[in-house]
Structure 1
Amino acid sequence: MRSVRKGGFLTSVAVLACACVLATAGDATAKDPGGSQFDVEGNNDKDGGRTLESRIVFTGATGGSGGEASGTFTPAADWSPPACWYEPKWTPDQFADEFRERWDIPHASGVGEAYRLSQDHYINGKPYEDFNKKEAGKGLWWDAVRDETRAEAGDPAAFACDTRTFWVENGEPPNVENAVTPEVLAQLAYARIKVPDTAVTLAPANATKVNLPTWAWLDKAKFDEVSVTASLDVGGVHIQATTTAKPVSLKLEPGTPDAELYPASGECTINDDGSIGEPYATGKANQDPPCGITYLRSSGDSTFDLQATVTWEVAWTGSGGTGGDLPDGTFGTTQAVTVQEIQAVNR
């Protein structure tokens, strides 16, 4: 996983705010608008809670191709998309409204000092004055967003973006790590790509025989490239990136060491037409399959778990002519294979 540098530190305001939450009765909450004290569900991700209050919009294969998707692939390298990032959120007036809403806790106790410090920071000129309303149209307020799924799993990287809400002038790059860029958007889109399952077609289809080559293949129509576009359009910030995954190979693992693979590596490369392997046809009984398995013993009263894993090559393009490669992704499924005993096979 790529390291994430903390853009700042948890200030006394955030610490006091956390303490106030514990001291507050009923449903009242006290949270400094800065830092990473979030509890509002994201308004653009209803299928997994990945982000909190994000303005990023994802389109494309976030639900898979043709409704046949099984899940998100796993990076083949020791890498993962950002667990938290910073993005533009509010104009001065919008941030003022957000600030007042978050501090609308008339019956909470013990929040006076935290509230005063936040007022000084954003209103009273230490360092910002009246939410920078005099700079309206010249910039935006940026805030942290985290991958809530990874936060719930206890991933420390999800809490690394702890810089308080900060002002960025138009055209100026934010001076924090993981500020949203086309590349960061591409990485976030990577995590949203859904690919179809990898249940291969087998011949024989229902049950194969010991020492009989079993042909395996995947159709082009099912395994085509998929892509997700992540875009951000807030105030004067307009950036986007499209991440595209293309299937390049299929790896077979027979579920038993008593088997021979075709090819011997078990890696079946993609054909020129986008398919993987080759369908069995009458007259090919004396041929070795370009992609397949020969089981050398029976599965008895059980079955063998055939693991089929597709490797996806991933690249991205983004605003301003940006682009590049991202780590390959893999996604696999397991299917039960029945292997029956016979005395001999004449080929």
Structure 2
Amino acid sequence: MATQPFAYTIWAQDKPSRAPAVRASRPKVTCTYQRWWYANTLQKVGRGVVDPDRSPSTEQPKDGAWYEVKCSNGSRKIVWIDNKRAPAVNAEQLAQRAYKRIPITPPQVLTAPPRGREGLVGLPHWFYLAKEQWAAKSNRVRTGAVWAEATARPQRMTVNTGEGHTFTCDGPGTAYDPGRPATRQGSTCSYRFRYPTNARRVTVSVTWSGTWHGSGGTGGALPPITRSVTFPVRIVEAQALVTKG
């Protein structure tokens, strides 16, 4: 704006408005709570592990409980929480707890020829699981009105032959029946070794898939679990005997 009082020229200019500062948004930190059974049972956990303001030797579990707190920013701590302000647990958290408690052990693998006996180069070497190894296992956990059941199911068996080959079988393999003729039997999980060896290290792994369902119609998938066992296999070459007639 310009005016001319008494032959003076006066200029006025509005200050440019500053753009509003953009505040960097911090990532949202989420935390999960899980009962810390170790501290509640022993009642002798050191002060450096749990809440330094409380002594577990003087607290009674009926008044509250120790909780393991894990947050998405990587922090982890053990805190005492009174029952009146204990965090609500959801079905998914219970499902993860139930899944970890399912007893999934390394597979019990049988072979034909039997373990400890020699196999022959070029002939099928059978691999199969012991009875009742290929069956789903479940576990259920409940806290108040919230519950969840986790189930692990065997999905595939993988055999590492120890001579550079790995193959996968969709099931537990076919059991060899010594009471039946060999011509009437067939394997669904076998391998023909190519080289003789005194102690070929074979590894058999079984992978389990996990699912869960719980209160409120909830449910979903859980990460797979793999268990393995390694054992020696001796492979020899068949010797031909030639005689003059």
List alignment gaps of at least 5 residues for structure 2.
1-27, 46-52, 241-245
Match runs of 1:24-173 below 5 Å: 41-43=39-41, 144-145=67-68, 157=74, 159-160=75-76, 165=81
1:41 Cα deviation from its structure 2 partner = 2.9
- Matched to 2:76, the amino acid is A
2:160 is matched with 253
Q: Give the secondary-structure state (helix, strand or coil) at the position aligned to 1:211.
A: coil
Contact 2:64 2:80 in 1 (8 A): no
Q: Give the secondary-structure state (helix, strand or coil) at the position aligned to 1:190.
A: helix
Give CA deviations for 1:223-246 in whole Å, capped at 9, x if unaligned.
21111222223xxxx212111101
2:122 is matched with 211
The change in CA–CA distance for 1:167 and 1:207 in structure 2 (over 3 A counts) is same
Q: Give the secondary-structure state (helix, strand or coil) at the position aligned to 1:187.
A: helix
Distance 2:57 2:175 in 1: 65
- Matched to 1:224, the amino acid is A
List alignment gaps of at least 5 residues for structure 1.
8-37, 47-51, 53-98, 105-139, 148-155, 260-264, 271-275
Q: Does 1:242 align with 2:149?
A: yes
- Matched to 1:41, the amino acid is A
Total equivalences in the alignment: 192
The structure whose RCO (Cα within 8 Å, separation 6+) is larger is 1
Q: Give the secondary-structure state (helix, strand or coil) at the position aligned to 2:196.
A: coil
Distance 2:185 2:141 in 1: 47
Contact 1:199 1:335 in 2 (8 A): no
Q: Which entry has the higher C-alpha Rg, 1 or 2? A: 2
Contact 1:189 1:242 in 2 (8 A): yes
Q: Does 1:191 align with 2:100?
A: yes
Distance 1:103 1:311 in 2: 43
1:287 Cα deviation from its structure 2 partner = 7.5
RMSD across aligned positions (CA): 3.9
1:328 is matched with 224
The structure with the largest helix share of the pair is: 1
Q: Give the secondary-structure state (helix, strand or coil) at the position aligned to 2:142.
A: strand
Contact 2:95 2:150 in 1 (8 A): yes
Match 2:188 to one of 262, 287, 290: 290
1:319 Cα deviation from its structure 2 partner = 1.4
1:201 is matched with 110
1:336 Cα deviation from its structure 2 partner = 1.5
The structure with the largest strand share of the pair is: 2
1:299 is matched with 197
- Matched to 1:145, the amino acid is E
Give CA deviations for 1:273-308 in whole Å, capped at 9, x if unaligned.
xxx2112344445976320111111113xx112111
